[in-house]
Structure 1
Amino acid sequence: MDIRPLHNAQDYLDALTVISALVDADPEIGTPEGDRLDVLSVLVERYEAQHFPLDLPDPIEAIRFRMEQAGLTASDMKPYLGNLNRVYEVLNRKRGLSLAMIRRLNQGLQIPAEVLIAQA
C-alpha cells in the first residue's frame, strides 16, 4: 500500500481519484483496499481541514435550521429560550443568547456550543 502525506493540490487530487475508484469498488472493511480507503479518507479530511476551513454558521441560523430539521415551532423553543416574546426576540436578533440559553440549546437540541457563542 503506497500511501504518503498530501503535500500539495496535486497530491490531494490524486488521492480523490483513488478514493473515488475505491468507493465505486466498495471494498470490504479490513481488506487491503478497505484499509487504503480508510487511510486515504483520513488524509483527505486532514488536508481539507487545513486548506479549506469552514466558517462556523451564524448562531441564529443554526437554531432556525435545527428547528426546521426537528419540525419545531417558536412555542417549542420556550424551554430553551424562555417565554414566547423572548423566543421571537432571539430569533429576530433583538436579544442575544445568554449563557443559560446556550447551555439549554446545546444539551437539548445538540447545537454545538462553539456555534452558539459565535458572533451573529
Structure 2
Amino acid sequence: MKLVTHQEYVNAIIRLDLLLKEIDNKTSEDHPQMLELVEVSDIIENYEEAHFPIGLPTLQEMIELRMFEMGLKRKDLATLLNTSASRISEYLNGKREITLTIAKALHQKLNIDSDIILQ
C-alpha cells in the first residue's frame, strides 16, 4: 500500500467527483475513465484507512445493537442467554467479564462476530 499525501487525497476526491459525472453503469470496465476511477478510489481508500481508521465496535455496543434489532429487553436477553437480568446488566456496564458459555451464546444466538467478543 502506497503512502498517500493529503494533497494527493484532495486531488483524488476532486477527480473522483468529475469522473462520476462522466461515467455511468454502462461504461465498460476497461474504459480508460473507469480504470482511472478505480485508481483514484484506491488512493482515497488508502489515505482514509491510514488517517481515519474505523475500529471494531465494543461488545457492549454490539449487544445493545442486537437487542435493539431483535426488540429485546434485558430480561428477554437474559432468558435467551440462560442467565439473569442482573448478570446482563453487569456485562453491559462493564462490571463483569463474560464467561465462555455466554461468549458462545452471544456468537450463536445474537450472531456477534467472534473478533468483537474476543477483543
Structure-2 residue corresponding to 1:103: 104
Structure-1 residue corresponding to 2:57: 57
Task: Give the aligned residue type for 1:14.
Answer: N
Q: Matches of 1:107 and 1:36 in 2, distance apart?
A: 43
Are 1:13 and 2:10 counterparts? yes
Q: Matches of 1:12 and 1:64 in 2, distance apart?
A: 36
Q: Matches of 1:70 and 1:37 in 2, distance apart?
A: 39
Is the 1:27–1:34 contact (alpha carbons within 8 Å) kept by the matching residues of 2?
A: no
Structure-1 residue corresponding to 2:68: 68
Unaligned runs of 5+ in 2: none
Q: TM-score, normalised by structure 1?
A: 0.68
Q: Matches of 1:47 and 1:67 in 2, distance apart?
A: 35
Shift of 1:35: 4.1
How many residues of Structure 1 are paired with residues of Structure 2 in the alignment?
114
Q: Matches of 1:80 and 1:23 in 2, distance apart?
A: 48
Report 1:69-84 matches (<5 A): 69-78=69-78, 79-80=80-81, 82-84=83-85
Larger radius of gyration: 2
Percent identity between the two aligned chains: 29
RMSD (Å) for aligned C-alpha atoms? 2.8
Q: TM-score, normalised by structure 2?
A: 0.68
Q: Matches of 1:26 and 1:81 in 2, distance apart?
A: 54
